[in-house]
Chains A and B, each alone.
Chain A
């Protein structure tokens, strides 16, 4: 494994990244980082692979946050079908879940029918 100080690494970045072996970065006589080249991803340590998976998972998790103004929600509430809610509130939680499952089954069937038609 090659070793480089932070200053050395900065100055020789392109050259060090060209190599096939990891580079140990040291600062003030202490080990601070290891840079792995990606020429052979299969040789990456498991921990690094786990980190990559988590980085991808986080990437899917990034969302824009918009303020939820009460007036806007009040406007949306005017369009809520209270009859469906009242019907649901008569059911047990399990009955509500079974109804959702039925709805999902129906939606899947509609999607299948749509794709068969195409």
Chain B
């Protein structure tokens, strides 16, 4: 289970540049599906990654699914050398992604996202069209139902 308030507060307090994507973004747009992790696309500048590392450090991040006891160091160098990190944290599972399918990195998503208020904090969420595009580009069979639902949401909003 995810403690959304705690995770988002950790990111926002450290001024991490991020956009919510994936299943939670779908929920925020009106999806009724259950999702079990928070996916974010984070800024990739050195300062952005420094803030991300500082925000996550108190939440004891570890690579999800990796063998126990790995000498894992989520420092700025590790994040800059990698891109996408699927993590477990004390506040729940978090996927910190440098880019998602469709070429959506943080710079692109800044222009393809909306601002929403959650627990008294302003957060950016990928817009509905971009979310559908990224799910289409990801080409995962499990996303077929998700895309169908997101397209239905778009129709419902347009027909309002």
Closest to A54 in B: B82
Q: How many contacts A-B (CB < 8 Å)? A: 132
| Contact of A65 with B138 in the complex, beta carbons under 8 Å | yes
Known: A85-B149, A94-B118, A97-B4. A53 touches B28 (CB 8 A): no
With an 8 Å Cβ cutoff, the count of chain B residues facing the other chain is 52
Closest to B78 in A: A50
A65 → B minimal CB distance (Å): 4
For B144, what are the chain A residues with a Cβ–Cβ distance below 8 Å? 68, 72-73, 76
A54 → B minimal CB distance (Å): 4
For A118, what are the chain B residues with a Cβ–Cβ distance below 8 Å? none
Known: A57-B63, A88-B32. A65 touches B139 (CB 8 A): yes
| Contact of B119 with A93 in the complex, beta carbons under 8 Å | no
For B2, what are the chain A residues with a Cβ–Cβ distance below 8 Å? 101, 104
Known: A53-B70, A54-B81. A73 touches B147 (CB 8 A): yes
A109 → B minimal CB distance (Å): 10
> A35 at interface (Cβ–Cβ under 8 A)?
no
B65 → A minimal CB distance (Å): 6
| Contact of B156 with A82 in the complex, beta carbons under 8 Å | yes
Closest to B135 in A: A68
Q: How large is the interface on A (under 10, 10 to 19, 20 to 34, 35 or more residues)?
A: 35 or more
| Contact of B71 with A49 in the complex, beta carbons under 8 Å | yes
| Contact of A68 with B1 in the complex, beta carbons under 8 Å | no
- Interface SS, A side: helix
Which residue of B1, B27, B72, B135 contacts A53 across the interface (Cβ within 8 Å)? B72
A106 → B minimal CB distance (Å): 9
| Contact of B152 with A97 in the complex, beta carbons under 8 Å | no
Known: A63-B138, A93-B117. A100 touches B152 (CB 8 A): no
Interface residues of B in 16-36 (CB under 8 A from A): 24, 27-28, 30-32, 34-36
| Contact of A89 with B157 in the complex, beta carbons under 8 Å | yes
Interface residues of A in 33-67 (CB under 8 A from B): 46-47, 49-51, 53-54, 56-58, 60-61, 63-67
Closest to A77 in B: B148
> A108 at interface (Cβ–Cβ under 8 A)?
yes
Interface residues of B in 51-68 (CB under 8 A from A): 63-66
> A15 at interface (Cβ–Cβ under 8 A)?
no
CA of A82 to CA of B36 in the docked complex: distance in angstroms?
A: 22
For B75, what are the chain A residues with a Cβ–Cβ distance below 8 Å? 50
A-B contact pairs, 17 of them (CB 8 A): A50-B81, A53-B78, A54-B78, A56-B66, A57-B83, A60-B63, A60-B66, A61-B83, A73-B151, A77-B151, A79-B145, A84-B32, A89-B156, A93-B117, A96-B27, A100-B27, A104-B1
